Every structure is written in C-alpha cells, then in structure tokens.
Structure 1
Amino acid sequence: MATRIRYGARTPEQLRNREVEATSVDTWATSLVAIYETDPALVAAVLPPPLVASVPEHVRVTIARVDIRNMPPFGAGTFAVGATHDGIAGDYALTMPMSTEQSVVGGRETFGEPKKIADVRLDLSGGLAVGSRLTGSFTRLGVTYVEIAGTLVEELPLPADRVRTSFYLKFQPAPDGKGFDDDPGLVHVQRRERTRALFKVDGEVILRESRFDPVVDLPVRRLVGIEIAERSSLQTGAIVRRLPQEDVIPFAHQRYDNLSPVGEE
C-alpha cells in the first residue's frame, strides 16, 4: 500500500490559495470599532510615502470576534490611521494583533498585513442588546496596551452595504539583512461589508505603554465615536505599484518586534 507523504508535492487542487478563498466568502464577525482624532503631525510621521494623511487625522481601532466555517472563533484587531492614495480614502494599519497563527500567516504573506500573535478579547455581558456592558482588549508580551470599555446605549439604523479600502506594504527582508528581496509592493485591499446589527456604545479608549506595540504614541485627542456591529466582509486585494526600498525600510520595524539583546532600551 502506498504511503501518502504530506510534505510531498501537492496536486493542483491542493495548491488552491486557501487564504484568498477564505477572504472571498462571507465571514461574519462581531466588531467593536472606535474612531478618535489625534495630532496631525503624529499621523503624518507614521505614513510611508506615497500615502498621505486623511483630514481630519483619525485613528481607527477594531476589536473583533470572527466566525469562519469549520473553525473555532478567533480574535482579530486593527490599529490604523486614516490615509489616502491617488485620491482614494482608506486606512493604513500600524499593527493587526490576531489570536491564532492561521489568521496571522496568510494575511501577512498574501496581503502584507502587519499581523502579530496576541491575546485579542471581546466580551459582552448580555449579548448585542441595549444595556449590555462590553470590554475589548489587545494584550501582547504581558501588556494590555489597548482597551475599550463601555455600554451599548442605542440600536442604530443599518447602513447600506459599503466598500472600505485599506493600504498595506508587502515585502520580505533580504536574507543578508540588507533591505528587502525586491522592491516592496503597495497593496490596496477592498472589503465589501454588510451589516446586520449595529449599536452605539458609550465608552472610552485606553492606551497603555508597550515597548513592542507603542500605540500610546498616538494619544486620544477627541473621541469621535464607538460602535459595535455584526458584519460580514468579502476581501480582495492587488499590488497597485512598486515602491523604492529606501522609502519603506524606515517603516519596516512596525511589523517586527525588536528582541535583540543589544537593541536600545
């Protein structure tokens, strides 16, 4: 009897890109979204060219519990700033904490998303209903560096279906430690979103110091609003242009932790 060697060559059927397929089917998530304004100079400082800040300068924090068929729910987060490119408004993520390895690896390698393993939690005391208390948080390396707490105070009308754009940088560090394998790609990702429940939240956004996830450097100057929703998302992406390595190298650290014992304290 022939033995199947699972590390052997795969058939064309087995080589299907499961990551792209997974983002191209309806995936429902319970998503807590907070938007706040911060200092314009701070947003400009974290955007690599050719991205420029949107106006007013804002930060979008998302903490979600995602349900995918045949898999346990997982936690997913995004900490992003508003940005534009070629007249298209969207957001640029500084970090995307995820609670499982599967949700990290595909997104990083396929779309260039700056994902890291973390403990991402979203807890509702009484489900999606007015009066429920909620807490959401990101925790990495012993530090809870983002927390959102509040109460659902009002059920809101359902918005129309929409398309939301995100910008990512796709690159791989060169094995000799000098730059990248190739010029980085600027990726545009479109998420076609449907909403089946939406509530306004009365709450606050708390940022804490973290050496490895320094989101506290973009402080809350004005809280625009907090909402929680049940949403589905269909995601597609493409590289729209290549960027000079020298423009991206200064920002590559956003994706990686500096664990070097000789690094700066």
Structure 2
Amino acid sequence: MKAADVRQHVTTPLTGPAYAPMVPRFTDREYLNVVYRTDADALRAVVPEPLRIEEPLVRFEIMKMGDVSGYGPYTEAGQAIPVGFEGERGEYLHTMHLDNFPATASGREVSAYPKVIGSPALYVDSGALVGTLDHGSVRVATATMGYKHHELDRAEAEAQITVPTFMLKTIPGYDGLPRVQELVRTRITDVTVKGAWTGPARLQLFQHVLAPLADLPVLEVVSAGHILTDLTLSGVEPVHDYLKGAAS
C-alpha cells in the first residue's frame, strides 16, 4: 500500500476499521434525563478549567438508540454537567457507558466522547420508565420516572438536548506525555422532537471503582424528562489547547 493510500485511511486497524467512516443519523433516539443536585466540591474536582460551574447540577441520562446508521441499535448511559465557557452555557460530558463497540471506538477516536463499555437499559415496568446501568454483573445506577405523566413542551425538550457539549481530548505520545490535549465542543443538529414528557423521578447511584458515577452523589432530584427524537451529531471543534494555553 502506497503512502498516499495510507493517508486515505483514518481508522484503526488500517484494513479492518472498527466503525464506518460516516456521520451517523439517529432515528427514534429515546432519552430518560434526570437532573439532580450534587456536592459542589465533588464537581470542582472533575470539571476541567477553563469551564466554569454555575450550579452544582448533574444530568444523568439513559439513551436508547433504536436505529443508528453505521452502528445499528444500542443503549448508552452517562453524566453531563452544566457548565459555562466564555459566556456560553453548555454541558461537560463526564461519563458515558454503552453496549456497542463500534460506537465506543468511533466516539473516542474521531471525537472525544468519554465512552467505555457498559450494560445500560431503558424500558417500561409497571407504569414506570426505568433506566439502569450495570458494569459487568454489578449495578451502578437505577433511574425511575412516572411513564408519560405530563406532556413536556417540545421546544423546551429540544433546548435541553441541543446545548453545546464540551469534552476533553487527550492523545498520549510515545514518551507517555500528552501529544494532544484539547477542550473540544460539539452539538446536536437536525433535530426532530417526536414526543416529550415529564413526571416524578428517582435516581440511585451505587459505588463502583471502575464506574465512579456515585462520586457525584445524588442530593436532590430537580427535574426529569422523557424525550423521543431524531437527530445528528455534528463534528467537534477545538476551543482550548492545554499544551499551548490558548484556543486552537
């Protein structure tokens, strides 16, 4: 294979990529979002500067993706932290656990999503929408919400899921030091909200050394939402270079 041909490949392995080189479209993406108040010191310990914490809030999310071009169906769970950056409000993606390896590899390599393999689930059980996350055979999180108790304004639902999201991109060099270390930003586009509901909710997080969601403890559930939508994830752009101390 000639050098010019090598440069046409952007995935690993070279001739057997782990994921399709495409921008995926999500159809019937279903969210369970539980926003909760947590310990402010715990948040400050995990949110990187220059992002700013305005309130000690966390959004726990379970996302069931029934049809994703390039990946197929999968489910994902994680934590997003409301932050501010240069006058813009958004969310810092803290943890993401999913049951699909191509989506995990793509999210880490192409973008900067903090994805690891886990076993999340989203389903309805006896009048409650239930979201769970397991690491191996151990339960890490359980969220419950009254199933479609009240309609949620669709414009409000869209606003909840389309705020800019920030992530930390680190690529180590061969000397063990960072070769790339950037704060990057992305957002959801081409959104169609098909349904949105709210209702009472509860959230339990359980201690696990390899899935430390409970390090951001649940002090109070603030709100909850159940959203069904189609959407596309746009690419990422660097907004701060930690190795240079300035925007790229």
Give the TM-score normalised by structure 1. 0.77
Match of residue 189, structure 1, among 186, 190, 193: 186
Distance between the aligned counterparts of 2:104 and 2:70, measured in 1? 18
Runs of at least 4 residues off by over 4 Å: 9-15, 17-20
Question: 1:63 aligns to what SS in structure 2?
Answer: strand
The residue aligned with 2:36 is 36
The alignment yields a C-alpha RMSD, in angstroms, of 2.7
Distance between the aligned counterparts of 2:109 and 2:99, measured in 1? 17
How do 1:77-226 and structure 2 match up within 5 A? 77-125=77-125, 132-152=127-147, 153-159=149-155, 161-162=158-159, 163-176=162-175, 178-182=176-180, 184-192=181-189, 193-226=191-224
* Paired amino acid for 2:187: Q
Q: Which has the larger radius of gyration?
A: 1
Would the alpha carbon gap of residues 20 and 58 (structure 1) be closer, same or farther in structure 2, given more than 3 Å must change?
A: farther
Q: Is the CA contact (8 Å cut-off) linking 1:179 and 1:245 kept in structure 2? A: no
Question: 2:185 aligns to what SS in structure 1?
Answer: strand
Q: Is the CA contact (8 Å cut-off) linking 2:201 and 2:221 kept in structure 1? A: no
The residue aligned with 1:228 is 226
CA shift for structure 1 position 209: 0.6
Question: 1:216 aligns to what SS in structure 2?
Answer: helix
2:50 is aligned with 1:50: yes
Question: 1:224 aligns to what SS in structure 2?
Answer: strand
Question: 1:159 aligns to what SS in structure 2?
Answer: helix
Give the TM-score normalised by structure 2. 0.82
Unaligned runs of 5+ in 2: 12-18
Percent identity (aligned)? 21
Would the alpha carbon gap of residues 234 and 168 (structure 1) be closer, same or farther in structure 2, given more than 3 Å must change?
A: same
Question: 1:103 aligns to what SS in structure 2?
Answer: helix
State the number of aligned residues. 228
Q: Is the CA contact (8 Å cut-off) linking 1:19 and 1:110 kept in structure 2? A: no
Q: Is the CA contact (8 Å cut-off) linking 2:71 and 2:102 kept in structure 1? A: no
Question: 1:111 aligns to what SS in structure 2?
Answer: coil
Question: 1:164 aligns to what SS in structure 2?
Answer: coil
CA shift for structure 1 position 166: 0.7
CA shift for structure 1 position 70: 6.9
Question: 1:53 aligns to what SS in structure 2?
Answer: coil
Q: Is the CA contact (8 Å cut-off) linking 1:19 and 1:107 kept in structure 2? A: no
